[in-house]
Chain A
């Protein structure tokens, strides 16, 4: 993992990671400065975090893989296994982004003594998980799609899908089948989308007025249960592992 050290160094010195950190720092500090860390603040922060993390991770990941082609060629001509190179590249991108997110949100939260509230802890954990998920997807795209513009375009479309379109489809389905008990299917669909999953997890911790009614109760009961937590964790892990695994396979078989 000597390689990882150098990839980490490269990414950490880049301006994107710094900008990313500064952005989260400014947003969190701004929100916490003017309010007292109540539910509304957390929800506002959550909205920003869950929009930006997937976008930044998937776009930067795809872009970075394309921009690193020559470098990857150089590394592959060294006596290093391809899977080692892939892991180093992946972690080299994901870790700096996770860290600058954790610090960007964590430091202001710590200053305002909100760092250890369950909501912030959940936000940080799910945010970190989402970084890994979308970097994983980005790497898959970056390897499978050779054209940079097409890769970036698809990355953006995927982001749009996970943040907006998926929920639209979910809504259409709940409306279409409103005469049936839809709690289980909607929970299943929420589990399948990592962003929705993260959002529900944070909302449950702020005990926010949002999740009301019978559905809210069912959702709270499910995600409060050991089974629900396990299934959610499993979903996030699979969302990291599957694109990573498929990406790794393509990477190993790829002609450069």
Chain B
């Protein structure tokens, strides 16, 4: 459960998020959509504690997400562009995150198999292709079966097989009862995955509802 209450973020005079209030419930996949610069990324980063909001609060499973890093133990995040330390091996990146979470029970082996990462585990990250790195990112985000899952363009850069695998994982997370937030530009993908969509424009929610209603909204905008 992620609760966002009156969230505002200003960079200087520029207001990126304008008094947003949103809830993301367990067992629901929410898609955040909107044009470039509408505040999608900033919203995600606020939830993740990467950006400190000017006003408002973010509460994740009862933890104040803005001050308490413990809530990160139950969040999985997959960035849009995955860049990792050049000289670490894929295996080490995964191990490192495990170490930071101080949790041993995880599904990384299953995920590594699912994404067919085994042949790449002992290669340095800098030698891996963008797609492969993205897969490492997916493993890192998913391996602890978190109750909150934030995925920034999760299928971008993935090959069709991995893309399908990703979608299956999202579906599984939803069934498990996770609150899933995705951003995507691919309407078909949103329709396929999301239960609900939030349309952002200039830092404000201009529409919130089922995916089909968003589609209508988009056609209106066009």
The answer to whether A70 and B69 touch (CB under 8 A), given A2-B99, A77-B77, A78-B97, is no
Which of B77, B83, B96 is within 8 Å of A3, CB to CB?
B96
Give the bracket for the number of chain A residues in contact with chain B: 20 to 34
Measured between beta carbons, the chain B residues less than 8 angstroms from A147 are none
Chain B binder among A9-17, A107-115, A132-140, A165-173: A9-17
Q: Is B101 located at the chain interface by the 8 A CB criterion? A: yes
Q: Is A75 located at the chain interface by the 8 A CB criterion? A: yes
A14→B49 contact, CB < 8 A: no
A80→B100 contact, CB < 8 A: yes
Q: Is B217 located at the chain interface by the 8 A CB criterion? A: no
Residue of A at shortest CB range from B69? A79
Q: Mark A35-70, 1 if CB is under 8 A from B, else 0.
A: 000000000000000000000000000000001111
Measured between beta carbons, the chain B residues less than 8 angstroms from A188 are none
Residue of A at shortest CB range from B48? A77
The answer to whether A79 and B73 touch (CB under 8 A), given A2-B100, A71-B84, A255-B52, is yes
Q: Mark B137-176, 1 if CB is under 8 A from A, else 0.
A: 1001000000000000000000000000000000000000
Chain A binder among B31-39, B86-94, B178-186: B86-94
Measured between beta carbons, the chain A residues less than 8 angstroms from B45 are 255-256
Q: Mark B9-47, 1 if CB is under 8 A from A, else 0.
A: 001000000000000000000000000000000000100
Q: How far is the CB of B186 from chain A (nearest CB, A)?
A: 22
Q: How far is the CB of A96 from chain B (nearest CB, A)?
A: 11
**Which of A9, A68, A70 has the most C-beta atoms of chain B within 10 angstroms of its own C-beta?**
A70
Q: Is A7 located at the chain interface by the 8 A CB criterion? A: yes
Q: Is B62 located at the chain interface by the 8 A CB criterion? A: no
In the complex, besides A2-B100, A71-B83, 4 extra interface pairs with C-beta distance below 8 angstroms are: A9-B87, A76-B49, A78-B101, A79-B102
Give 11 A-B contacts (CB < 8 Å), ordered by A residue: A2-B96, A3-B96, A6-B92, A10-B86, A14-B86, A71-B84, A71-B85, A76-B49, A79-B69, A80-B69, A81-B69
